Chains A and B, each alone.
Chain A
Amino acid sequence: MAEGEKHPRTSFMRSLAIQKRVVGALMLREMLTRYGRHNIGFLWLFVEPMIFTVGVTLIWTAFKSVHGIDLPIAAFAVTGYSSVLVWRNIPGRAVGAIGPNLSLMYHRNVKTLDIFMSRIFLECIGVGASFFVLSILFWAIGWLDLPENPSLVVEGWLMLAWFGMGLGLFLGSFSMRSELIDKFWHPVTYLMFPFSGAAYLAEAAPPTVRPYLLYVPMIHGVEWVRDGYFGSHFTPMYSPFYLLSWNLALTFFGLVELRNARKYIVPQ
């Protein structure tokens, strides 16, 4: 509860119902605003990330001979790039989410958390759907085999999505304190890409570098998803516990920062 303000008591279940309704309304509003009703409309939500992934897959397939490893290259590309989208796009949508929506604060039911949640969920659905649709599509045209262990893929992806949501909440809240976040986040995502494990397997990294590389949380998620997809082709290296710890920490500090952030709300 915001400092200096006393609300009439609202039961937890009622609050939950209000929040569900508000987040839903915000998601619909965001969807209509971003994609409109023209051409394929909200389908852009996952076609947009899909185009990226297809492009990357094609390029990597072209370089397959260079890799020289016996890997299902399409599956490698799809898992790799879909993972990047999760930790790059979700925080990308969350950073600076409050500014343009400040006027919504006049509606007392709308809280800052709702605005973050609506954007984060929407992006999550987008990248998740593009991953799913691409897997089916590439399977249908014979580019890749279905996952060896689908439940492991889902687990790994959900953990990675949670990481993206936690990071989004944290950076998004933090961006209200300092606009530098907005400036730095984009270059940082590019710089992090080589360390995220999207373009290689942990086992392919030099043994001297590998232990340090495994401090990067995203790599654990990618390896997890790939373990489920084509685990018999390589030696997966990941610690579910390590990723879980990151997720819990990011979510916790994200919520703490969100609580602080109300002070920094200054309307234009």
Chain B
Amino acid sequence: MIRLENVNKVYKTLRGQHHVLRDINLSVEKGQKIGILGRNGAGKSTLIRIVGGVEQPTTGRLYRDMSISWPLAYSGAFQSSLTGFDNLRFICRIYDVDPYDKLDQVEDFAELGKYMFEPLGTYSAGMRARLGFAISLVVEFDCFLIDEVTGVGDDRFQQRCHDELFVKRADRAIFLVSHNAAFVRQICDKAAVLTRGVLSSFDDMDEAYNFYQEHAAE
């Protein structure tokens, strides 16, 4: 599981300290799907970076005994001067997976054709997203991080993503941050709302939804 205990994150700014996360307590069990709702600037991205291990909490602790993915379809770690295959190979090396075993799967999912062997710089946003998603599925994680699934790709692609993630990998945990309450409702079995760095957890999805609506202005 993943457990955050009294996690605080404070950034230093020119005008003093900026308290982004305040005393966050949260746990994700194996197979559990948790959604964090929040407006822009509520601290969602900071939270996902802390869970993802990119940043350290200023105070508090993070326990984890599950393997956690990088944010799904995140292509920030890709090198745009390298080809799609080079990037796949790099990720595979890091996680000790044979890239040639996975090539068919990635090609089939990303549908890049010969562009698989062209530099990422020549890709459209959609192609990048498809490759990012395909590569995310190359490594089997216990928990997938998802940061704001926006409308990437057409309906068919969205459907395929859905099948891969929520049908074929239904046994995995999911940690999702989003401002889309309907999506969280559809996917998750537990929700929490982040408002100005304070996390309010709810066992009941409707309560979370109502709370989020009430605090929508914040």
Contacts and interface: CB of A to CB of B under 8 A. Distances in A.
Contacts of B59: 4
B109 to A, nearest CB: 20
B56 A25 contact: no
Interface residues on A, range: 20 to 34
Interface in A28-57: 28-29, 32-33, 36
A24 B55 CA distance: 24
A11 to B, nearest CB: 15
Contacts of A265: 54-56
A135 B76 CA distance: 42
Interface in A78-126: 102-110
Nearest to B96: A21
Nearest to B93: A25
B82 interface: yes
B90 A28 contact: yes
A263 interface: yes
Contacts of A6: 61-64
A209 B59 CA distance: 52
B56 A263 contact: yes
B94 A21 contact: yes
A5 B59 CA distance: 11
A7 B63 CA distance: 7
B76 A103 contact: yes
A22 B90 CA distance: 9
Contacts of B202: none
A106 B54 contact: yes
Contact of B90 (A25, A263, A266): A25
Interface string B67-83: 11011001011010110
Interface string B37-68: 00000000000010011111101111111011
A24 B53 contact: no
B56 A266 contact: no
A160 B70 CA distance: 39
A218 B82 CA distance: 37
A187 interface: no
B53 to A, nearest CB: 5
A103 B77 contact: yes
Nearest to B55: A265
A28 B82 CA distance: 11
B81 A266 contact: no
Contacts of A2: 56
A8 B2 CA distance: 12
B124 to A, nearest CB: 20
Contacts of A36: 81
B49 A267 contact: yes
B86 interface: yes
A106 B52 contact: yes
A32 B56 contact: no
B22 to A, nearest CB: 16
A106 B94 contact: no
Nearest to B82: A32
Nearest to B5: A4
B11 A266 contact: yes
Most chain A Cβ neighbours within 10 Å, of B53, B68, B74 = B53
Contacts of B100: none
Given A33-B79, A106-B70, A5 B93 contact: no
A5 B96 contact: no
Given A22-B93, A267-B55, 13 more contacts: A2-B56, A4-B59, A4-B61, A4-B62, A5-B64, A8-B65, A21-B93, A29-B90, A36-B81, A103-B77, A106-B53, A265-B54, A265-B55
Interface of A: 2-8, 18, 21-22, 24-25, 28-29, 32-33, 36, 102-110, 262-263, 265-267
7 contacts: A4-B61, A8-B65, A32-B81, A33-B82, A107-B70, A108-B68, A109-B94
